[in-house]
Structure 1
Amino acid sequence: MTATTPLDGLVVADFSRVLAGPLASMYLGDLGADVIKVEHPDGDDARRWGPPFVGPDSAYFMSANRNKRSIVLDLSVEENRKAALALVDRADVLMENFRPGTMDRLGLSYEELARRNPRLVYCSISGFGSGEGSRLAGYDFLVQAVGGLMSVTGEPDGPPMKVGVALVDVITGLHALIGVLAALHERRRTGRGQHVEVNLLSSLLASLVNQASTYLATGEVPVADGNRHPSIAPYESLTVGERQLAVAVGNDRQFRELARIAGAPELADDARFASNPARVDNRDELQERLEALLADRDVDELTAQLSAAGVPAGPVNDVAEAFKLATLLGLEPVVRIPSDARGEHPHVASPLSFSASAVSYRLPPPRLGEHTEVVLRWLQG
């Protein structure tokens, strides 16, 4: 018996662009929803965010737009707005990330659409909320800067540093997905949808977790400390020969094993290192001792020994090595979706796995307006 996808039959009207919204709607598509991507005639900005490109569209665009059908609607044109309303009438979920107020001006506000379709779950994603921050444009890099993430990223003596991917967009997209799924569950009880709002800045602040909690609890402002953890040691990267070894020692037993494998079991009984608070207080000396002990060791052999002893450790990989590791572990990190326009294109697999349901990879990222005619016929039927 073929497993079904969890969201079979769900219709999503996706008015979002770039990353946070498209990522959330793509995950809904992976779970079986029919996602209709509504694009301006110029298309989603992310289509042009390259190189590299896969055919006419960027690899960036490809990362967040599988399992969707694309239709082109210029919402400044009355006839196209009527088509958008027809889509909303059939939709279970609407995703949008225009600047606050834009959907209102187009006659597509939550209040207006909820009157037409009371079961609609309407998700709005913004940079800084719909209040005082509504006039500000929200881009991931900007929010990493003003939201404090850059201040805790990088080396202590270096400039603030962004994370290597648009992490705030990713986190916000996941928060949007959580909100939509919760609202759909609530709809089963009440029969009515609701307005879900999420913004980049609030998502980032919530995602600062221990750094935010430390500030709120003590008033002390966290600072960048390279690869070190502010409250755990050794929880950092160590230089081993010409490579870097990441160790994530979370308790005293793990440290005792690390000390034994390093060839200095006495470190675990040294008062300076016997407990985690002591190790944090003396982390500079501890790092120096560990790197001296491990200088001539092989990182791969060390990884195997430490892992066998229950000590979380591994080499600092590049992206290619990360995919290789996931493949060796049987995680099947890549899926290939056939496309008439682009040939078979590889995608990062969904991280979800179900015992009775399935993730689906039905459609490659669409060409701009590829499904306009068929969707408009469906709406008229």
Structure 2
Amino acid sequence: MTRPLDGVTVVSIEQAVAAPLATRNLADLGARVIKVERVDGGDFARAYDHVVHGTGAHFVWLNRGKESLAVDLKTPEGRDVVRRLVAQADVFLQNLAPGAAERLGFGAEALRAEHPELVVVNLSGFGAGGPMEHRKAYDMLIQAEAGLIAITGTSETPVKTGIPTSDIASGMYCAQAVLAALLRRWRTGEGATVEVSMFEATVEWMGYALYTRMYAGTEPARMGLSHSSIAPYDAFPTSDGQVLIGVQNDSGWRTLVTSVLDAPELADDPRFATNVARVAHRADCDAAIATRTARHTSAELDERLAAAGVPAAQLKDVGQVVDHPQLRARGRWRKIGTEFAAVDALLPPATFADVEAEMGDVPALGQHTHALLVESGVAAEDFLARGIAVQARVP
């Protein structure tokens, strides 16, 4: 069966996490993605570490299914190669420093003037204009500016999220915008210029916290594993660990205390009978539950909660997630190639019933340079000999 983006070509001058995530999502859907990299080391993420058989974990995660073109954009010849490829592409995406794309001749205005049907996506830290346009925009810094760190952690200690949330948010919005722009183009023939800001993507994800602050007039509290508006909603001790329990309505509360914890007297206790009351008496509520959950092992309590339909989970470490029975049972792992060895990779979360995602190999730096130089119509051997481009030697 046809993959959703078969026949779509994307040229991306990208690095780090946000833009590579966007284009990897497009590659998984069947698009051809040409990744333009520096000749001296390529994408920064290649060198973050070398834990995946000599390849960086970030890079393996974000760059499967792409063609790597290593070309020197500081040279007119290198820029010309990319322009030739863009002329045949459907999408151009970049996350260079503000103004860099324009200086290289890849600004949206110039590209769209020459190719009105092209979809151009500019991903930046803070967006064009404004006092922070030229500020560095690493994920942690964006989380701080967007207020995410302020609401994450415990009452004593704010923390950033354990994954690059701002990068992921903006990368997802980029991919979504590309799909919308292509849909419009297929209807009307019209291209698009799209801007995505990491900061604005993260502020959007702040969601209810923003509205709480704007209309309640109070700063949302850092609650750790707890929840400001729901109780019980936290980790509770067991005889050999802990289990997370989240009860979002009063009927769930009655089920928890009667069917799971064998404490029916708590069901109608006026301190706990409604969610509003439980939130007001959170400490007493949590203590009453903890006393009873501690009588069970984690596995036993988890089984009782599941049987009763009470929302709960065991706190898994990353090693347990790698071998999670739900992922294994649903066959979510596939093998993909890297520069040095095959590795396991997860299927994308969106599953099409009639076709599986295109999960190509992770390219070595410049692995496809020679072929792309030939495709662009330049003297490939001359470019390689002069160092304007680099071709990888893949084992």
- TM-score category of the 2 structures, normalised to the smaller one: over 0.9
Alignment map for 1:70-85 (pairs within 5 Å): 70-85=68-83
1:241 CA drift (Å): 2.6
Deviations 1:105-162 (A, max 9, x none): 11111011112211111111111111122211111011112221111111112x2111
1:317 CA drift (Å): 0.5
Partner AA of 1:314 in structure 2: A
* Contact kept in structure 2, 1:4 and 1:358, CA below 8 Å: no
Matching residue within 360, 376, 379 for 2:376? 379
* Contact kept in structure 1, 2:337 and 2:362, CA below 8 Å: no
Report the Cα distance in structure 2 between the residues aligned to 1:328 and 1:149, rounded to whole angstroms. 29
1:326 CA drift (Å): 4.6
Alignment map for 1:1-381 (pairs within 5 Å): 3-42=1-40, 43-55=42-54, 57-132=55-130, 133-157=132-156, 159-260=157-258, 261-327=260-326, 330-339=329-338, 341-361=339-359, 363-380=360-377
Q: Could you say what secondary structure the match of 1:6 adopts?
A: coil
Q: Could you say what secondary structure the match of 1:112 adopts?
A: helix
* Contact kept in structure 2, 1:16 and 1:96, CA below 8 Å: yes
* Inter-CA distance 329–63: structure 2 relative to 1 (3 Å threshold): closer
TM-score, with structure 2 as normaliser: 0.91
Report the Cα distance in structure 2 between the residues aligned to 1:86 and 1:350, rounded to whole angstroms. 31
1:348 CA drift (Å): 2.5
* Contact kept in structure 2, 1:6 and 1:358, CA below 8 Å: no
* Contact kept in structure 1, 2:327 and 2:333, CA below 8 Å: no
Deviations 1:255-291 (A, max 9, x none): 1111121111222211211111111111111111100
Q: Could you say what secondary structure the match of 1:216 adopts?
A: helix
* Contact kept in structure 2, 1:326 and 1:332, CA below 8 Å: no
Report the Cα distance in structure 1 between the residues aligned to 2:269 and 2:216, rounded to whole angstroms. 29
- Percent of pairs with identical residues: 37
Report the Cα distance in structure 2 between the residues aligned to 1:27 and 1:353, rounded to whole angstroms. 12
1:186 CA drift (Å): 1.3
TM-score, with structure 1 as normaliser: 0.95
Partner AA of 1:307 in structure 2: A
Range with greater deviation from structure 2 (40-49 or 371-380) = 371-380
Report the Cα distance in structure 2 between the residues aligned to 1:171 and 1:333, rounded to whole angstroms. 23
Q: Could you say what secondary structure the match of 2:170 adopts?
A: helix
Report the Cα distance in structure 2 between the residues aligned to 1:378 and 1:313, rounded to whole angstroms. 55
* Contact kept in structure 1, 2:120 and 2:192, CA below 8 Å: yes
Range with greater deviation from structure 2 (343-352 or 73-82) = 343-352
* Inter-CA distance 344–29: structure 2 relative to 1 (3 Å threshold): same
- Gapped regions of structure 1 (runs ≥ 5): none
Count of equivalent residues? 375
* Contact kept in structure 2, 1:24 and 1:174, CA below 8 Å: yes
* Contact kept in structure 2, 1:237 and 1:245, CA below 8 Å: yes
Report the Cα distance in structure 1 between the residues aligned to 2:17 and 2:8, rounded to whole angstroms. 21
Report the Cα distance in structure 2 between the residues aligned to 1:38 and 1:50, rounded to whole angstroms. 21
Report the Cα distance in structure 1 between the residues aligned to 2:180 and 2:327, rounded to whole angstroms. 35
Report the Cα distance in structure 2 between the residues aligned to 1:280 and 1:188, rounded to whole angstroms. 52
* Contact kept in structure 2, 1:240 and 1:295, CA below 8 Å: yes
Report the Cα distance in structure 2 between the residues aligned to 1:51 and 1:311, rounded to whole angstroms. 42
Deviations 1:92-111 (A, max 9, x none): 11111112211011111101
Q: Could you say what secondary structure the match of 2:141 adopts?
A: helix
1:307 CA drift (Å): 1.3
* Contact kept in structure 2, 1:326 and 1:333, CA below 8 Å: no
Range with greater deviation from structure 2 (341-350 or 321-330) = 321-330
Q: Could you say what secondary structure the match of 1:63 adopts?
A: helix
- Gapped regions of structure 2 (runs ≥ 5): 379-395
1:51 CA drift (Å): 4.5
1:180 CA drift (Å): 1.1
Report the Cα distance in structure 1 between the residues aligned to 2:357 and 2:170, rounded to whole angstroms. 21
* Contact kept in structure 2, 1:336 and 1:344, CA below 8 Å: yes
Deviations 1:32-57 (A, max 9, x none): 000000001120001000142432x3
Report the Cα distance in structure 1 between the residues aligned to 2:168 and 2:25, rounded to whole angstroms. 11
1:207 CA drift (Å): 0.6
1:328 CA drift (Å): 5.8
Report the Cα distance in structure 1 between the residues aligned to 2:317 and 2:347, rounded to whole angstroms. 18
